[in-house]
Amino acid sequence: MRFLLAFALLVHGIAHGVGFAVPWRLVASPTAAYTTSLLDGRIAAGELGIKIVGLLWLAVGLGFVIAASGVAVRAAWSPSVVATLAAASLALSVLGLPDSRLGIPINLALLLGLVVHLKTGWSLLSD
């Protein structure tokens, strides 16, 4: 199970690349339009602001890739790192609505899994 979770975290981290690449105009995405606003146009971020948000997407994505390796080797730090990254990713997903709406249930599922882990001792990190 831990390898399945590690793979899911890796894929989630790679998916964060869109949140970086589109604001930096490295790619044009049919599912994520370039914009300089957040929260579906409610907050104007400007060119610089949206690039900073793009860097946050990149940082969290790289964090998920690192966390995936931690989960794979059962590193003691991995649950707290995954919790921090899932919370940050959830915030970015809300800011990026509606394009990033898929990230909201994914991050909520990660956080719920961590709560279950803390409350019951059950873990996806076991074999």
The pLDDT value given to residue 31:
81
In a domain, 125, yes or no: no
CA separation for the pair 22, 6 (Å, rounded): 26
CA angle 124, 126, 127 (to 5 degrees): 115
**What is the residue range of 28's domain?**
2-120
In a domain, 127, yes or no: no
In a domain, 9, yes or no: yes
H or E segment and range at residue 37: strand 37-38
CA separation for the pair 91, 30 (Å, rounded): 23
The total of structural domains in the chain comes to 1
The pLDDT value given to residue 16:
97
Residues 104 and 90: beta-carbon distance below 8 Å: yes
| Residue spans of the chain under pLDDT 70 | 123-127
DSSP 8-state symbol, 44: E
pTM above 0.75, yes or no: yes
The pLDDT value given to residue 77:
94
φ/ψ of 13, rounded to 5, equals -65, -40
